[in-house]
Amino acid sequence: RTLETDMRRALKAGEFELHYQPLVDAHSGRVTAAEALVRWRHPRRGLVSPADFIPLAEETGLIMPLGAWVLRTACTDATRWPNAIKVAVNLSPVQFRDDRLPEAVEDILRETGLPARRLELEITEGVMFDDEERTLMMLSRLKAAGVGLAMDDFGTGYSSLSYLRRFPFDKIKIDRSFVRQLPADAESAAIVRAIITMGSCLGMTTTVEGVETAEQYAFVASEQCSQVQGYHVSRPLPSKDFVAFLVGQK
Ligand code: G
Ligand code: G
Ligand code: MN
Ligand code: NA
């Protein structure tokens, strides 16, 4: 049985689940958002990472029903969270190419009752390779729907700085590859500092990803980034454990 057939079956059987990784405010240390990360609870293989099935889902088109499921589930879960905590959802470039995406997002917000401002869509630099006018139009329609737009994995692709000025992103997520050697490596430190400054000058908030140690946390917080995400705060957690994490921080 191929992985593709198995994925179609799994979607019907309800084998996919979302884990949530907290994003904390760099100053207060409080959780202000969580990123939804899909996992496949396979009956024989155990918990399968998205890195092992998202690429195939993209090739086969299965990313469309899977992506819709992720959005609907994340929005539903977030309606139960306290303090207007936001939920961030990763969008595949394949989903982004569908003109009906903005309406689909609005439908899901209406169905679940989650206020648009509590949903943030994470988009990678990959989408910028598409037609620039079209990308701008899609981002503008999403923005008009009231959702937040985050540029994910910033610094790993080929996106030009002019895109940041031209496209209506609210947030830059600094890729964890720049964080790995912090705080000792002077070049990594300079890059992270520069991206935070640039984001702030362009009116965007910045999230630093992949913060694994107390030293890294102290460094990025002192550099005035807006939010921190990484194993030092918490690993991605099953939905119930995420809610327990929120209760625990009170
Ligand atoms: O959670 P983990 O580190 O295993 O995720 C690996 C990759 O899968 C990351 O690049 C992440 O953005 C991606 N990913 C996780 N969940 C989703 C999802 O719901 N949709 C899409 N398109 N990508 C996801
Ligand atoms: O590509 P994207 O940024 O969406 O991927 C997010 C992925 O990064 C998550 O799947 C998560 O498992 C992983 N991740 C989150 N925090 C850390 C961290 O501190 N260190 C490492 N190595 N990976 C992390
Ligand atoms: Mn992401
Ligand atoms: Na990222």
Tracing tokens 């989650």 back to the chain, one arrives at 114
From the CA of 173, how far away is ligand 4's center (Å)? 6
Q: What percent of the chain has pLDDT over 90?
A: 89
Range in 138-142, 155-159, 168-172, 220-224 the model is least confident about: 155-159
Q: What percent of the chain has pLDDT over 70?
A: 98
Alpha carbon nearest to ligand 2 atom 4, residue: 90
From the CA of 27, how far away is ligand 3's center (Å)? 22
Handedness of CA 36, 38, 41, 46 (dihedral sign): negative
Nearest CA to 21 among 219, 207, 203, 218? 207
Evaluate: CB of 50 within 6 angstroms of ligand 1.
yes
> Which ligand 1 atom is at minimum distance from the Cα of 89?
19
- The β-bridge partners of 207 are 173, 227
Evaluate: CB of 125 within 6 angstroms of ligand 2.
no
pTM: 0.97
Mutate to test the pocket of ligand 2, among 19, 122, 209, 232 (most ligand atoms within 8 A of CB): 209
Summarize pLDDT for 145-170 with one digit per residue, the tens. Answer: 999 999 999 988 776 788 888 899 99
Q: Is the pLDDT reported for residue 197 higher than 90? A: yes
Asked: is 3-248 a CATH 3.20.20.450 domain? The reply is: yes
From the CA of 99, how far away is ligand 1's center (Å)? 22
| Residues 135, 141: Cα–Cα separation, whole Å | 10
Handedness of CA 25, 26, 28, 31 (dihedral sign): positive
Evaluate: CB of 120 within 6 angstroms of ligand 2.
no
Evaluate: CB of 127 within 6 angstroms of ligand 2.
no
Provide the pLDDT for residue 162.
Answer: 80
Provide the pLDDT for residue 34.
Answer: 98
Alpha carbon nearest to ligand 1 atom 24, residue: 90
Summarize pLDDT for 25-79 with one digit per residue, the tens. Answer: 999 999 999 999 999 999 999 999 999 999 999 999 999 999 999 999 999 999 9
| Residues 61, 204: Cα–Cα separation, whole Å | 33
Which ligand approaches the C-alpha of residue 74 most closely? Answer: 1
Domain ranges of the chain: 3-248
Q: How confident is the model at residue 125 (pLDDT cuts 50, 70, 90)?
A: confident
Q: How confident is the model at residue 1 (pLDDT cuts 50, 70, 90)?
A: low
